[in-house]
Amino acid sequence: MDQFIPGNKKAPDGSAPFGAKKGLWGILISQRLAVWLMGLEIAALLAGSFFMEQSKEVAGAMNGSFPLYLWITGGPLALTWWLWAAILLLALLTINTLCCSIESIKRKKGGLLTLLAPQIIHAGFLLILVAHLASSLGASKLTGQLPQGAAARLPGFDIFMDKVAAGPKKPYAQVELVSGGAILKRGVLSPNHPVFFRGYGIYLQGLTMEPYPAAYIEVSREPGATWAFFGGILFTAGTVLLVLLKTGQE
Amino acid sequence: MNLIWLAWASVPLYLAGLFKRRLLFAGGLAQAAYLLARGVMLGRIPLVGPHDTLIFLAASLAGFSFLFHAAPEREKAFRILIGAMAALFSFFAMLAPPFEGVLPPVLSTYWFELHVGLSFFSYAFFGIGAALGAIYLLRREAALEKSQYRFILSGYLLFSVAMIAGGVWAYLAWGSYWLWTPKELWTSIIWLYYSLYLHLRLRPGWHGKNTALAGAIGFILVLFTYLGVGLLMKSSHTF
């Protein structure tokens, strides 16, 4: 039976701890720093969740039609401080994550898969952060009613509402994306089935048949979506690998 | 045919499971049969509202607990904790009315089912990890802490996949993979907390009592995110 040895200063895998090195690099690669940063990040998000509950109108604007960047830079610090704190901590955690990964690769301890699994997770995490950054700077959302037979103008093309119908199972709307009289794309919008074109997503949010058939549509740009998806895939792949390795080892 | 009696039967079965592990399994089977029957009746996976989800969580706890094998003494304490949690969740599930209405079209997608199903599977793994952590704190046997780690790591994987599925679903439904609401923040808190746990375990001098306790506390955060945030805070997860 394995027993923990009192006073054992080694990690469970028997390695010397990260951060045993001195100086700035020693601090940057330290797991202690990672633990502190994650703990403080949790505290910032915890504060944010209670703030959101107390200032619903202000917090509601975080999911508004403009990028988060405008919300955080335009709002008073008394209302946005927790998000500033969360961003600052995430920035430090990013540096810590990168440095830890570099140090792990330099040390080359253990087998290739043991070395790779945490780095793949770290890469996935960083991609997700890049995604949030891209979306915070460039996301936008427009909503409105588009009657059947009418069109809405977007940069570079128009959305023409061809047909709106309640449908036997779910509502749908047929749209044509046109420019200069030419149809660039035809599509059918329904719940969970948007149409994507030139970086825009066109969504059906509802429809009405009275007093005239019309669809409520949302046009959004989410520049971080692809990054977030691939970040998530990497993160999962790394965690699967870690689970397989640790289940065998521990 | 209304099979609600199967769901009711699971409560005494789980309580009896405190004494006999097979009865714990029987409780899980009764709930699985009930959920299956409800799924057939409704034509969808029954995972909407506290009635369905608490039953799903209790059945998952009972089911996945069979992945843990140990000597009789340790197994007894484990069985008592899992049986008590499953009985409690099942009892509260029976107090909530089952949701039998038509789902909003936005919920009719595999992404939703994957998101919710995997979330509750992960909660069950975290719950089992908490039980093992509590027993470790009493007995201080390294094997228990290692088992806790394995369950939490597996739960972390399921939780991560559930979050990705949720992000894909939100992107296809609302045009954004992330919404700033308390539920999302608490989800991030859980994710960060278990990331913290996994890193803490690498710290010298921290594995053992501290990580066992941290793993057990994590399940309190999970329960608050699941039940507390929904009850106390406005959420994107209210349908």
Q: Is B233 close to A53, i.e. CB distance below 8 A?
A: yes
Arithmetic mean of pLDDT over chain A: 88
Q: How confident is the model at residue A109 (pLDDT cuts 50, 70, 90)?
A: confident
Q: Are both A133 and A148 inside the same structural domain? A: no
Give per-10-residue mean pLDDT for chain B (239 aa): 86 93 93 94 90 96 89 82 96 93 86 96 98 94 93 97 96 92 93 96 88 97 89 61
* CA–CA gap between residue B15 and residue B80 (Å, rounded): 9
Q: Are both A166 and A200 inside the same structural domain? A: yes
Q: Which amino acid is at A142?
A: L
Which value, in Å, is the radius of gyration of the alpha carbons in chain B?
18
Q: Are both A155 and A75 inside the same structural domain? A: no
Q: Are both A129 and A169 inside the same structural domain? A: no
The per-residue pLDDT for B10 is 94
* CA–CA gap between residue B96 and residue B46 (Å, rounded): 14
Is the CB of residue B113 less than 8 Å away from at least one CB of chain A? Answer: no
Q: Are both A243 and A127 inside the same structural domain? A: yes
C-beta of residue B237 within 8 angstroms of C-beta of residue B46: no
Number of A–B residue contacts, CB under 8 Å: 159
Q: Are both A90 and A170 inside the same structural domain? A: no
The per-residue pLDDT for A3 is 35
Mean pLDDT for A111-122 is: 91
Q: Give the residue from chain A lying closest to B157, CA to CA.
A: A239
Chain B: give the shortest CA distance to residue A180, in Å. 27
* CA–CA gap between residue A200 and residue A198 (Å, rounded): 6
- Given a cut of 90, whether residue A83 has pLDDT beyond it is yes
Q: How confident is the model at residue A60 (pLDDT cuts 50, 70, 90)?
A: confident
Mean pLDDT for A217-232 is: 95
Higher pLDDT, A100 or B1: A100
- Given a cut of 80, whether residue A170 has pLDDT beyond it is yes
Is the CB of residue B89 less than 8 Å away from at least one CB of chain A? Answer: no
Structural domain count, chain A: 2
Closest C-alpha to A250, from B173, B198, B118: B198
Q: Is B176 close to A49, i.e. CB distance below 8 A?
A: no
* CA–CA gap between residue B168 and residue B214 (Å, rounded): 30
Higher pLDDT, A59 or A250: A59
Domain that holds residue A106: 23-138+239-249
The per-residue pLDDT for B236 is 58
Q: Are both A127 and A243 inside the same structural domain? A: yes
- Given a cut of 90, whether residue A41 has pLDDT beyond it is yes
The per-residue pLDDT for B87 is 96
Domain with A173 in it: what CATH number? 2.60.98.40
In a domain, A2, yes or no: no
Q: How confident is the model at residue A2 (pLDDT cuts 50, 70, 90)?
A: very low
Mean pLDDT for A230-236 is: 96
Q: How confident is the model at residue A231 (pLDDT cuts 50, 70, 90)?
A: very high
Is the CB of residue B239 less than 8 Å away from at least one CB of chain A? Answer: no
The per-residue pLDDT for A9 is 47
Is the CB of residue B177 less than 8 Å away from at least one CB of chain A? Answer: yes
Q: Are both A155 and A44 inside the same structural domain? A: no
DSSP state letters, B46-91: --SHHHHHHHHHHHHHHHHGGG----HHHHHHHHHHHHHHHHHHHH
Say what percent of chain A tops pLDDT 70.
Answer: 90
Q: Are both A70 and A156 inside the same structural domain? A: no
The answer for residues whose C-beta is within 8 angstroms of residue B83's C-beta and 6 or more apart is B14, B15, B17, B18, B24, B27
Is the CB of residue A42 less than 8 Å away from at least one CB of chain B? Answer: yes
The per-residue pLDDT for A91 is 97
The per-residue pLDDT for B43 is 87
Could you tell me the two tokens for B32? 């699985």
Could you tell me the two tokens for A25? 């690099």
The per-residue pLDDT for A165 is 92
pLDDT per position as a tens digit, A46-59 = 999 988 888 877 78
Token pair 């080694």 in the structure block, residue: A10
* CA–CA gap between residue A121 and residue A241 (Å, rounded): 10
pLDDT per position as a tens digit, A4-23 = 333 344 554 444 455 456 78
Q: Are both A132 and A43 inside the same structural domain? A: yes
Q: Are both A159 and A109 inside the same structural domain? A: no
In a domain, A148, yes or no: yes
In a domain, A234, yes or no: no
In a domain, A227, yes or no: no
Q: Are both A133 and A157 inside the same structural domain? A: no
- Given a cut of 60, whether residue A82 has pLDDT beyond it is yes
In a domain, A11, yes or no: no
Say what percent of chain A tops pLDDT 90.
Answer: 65
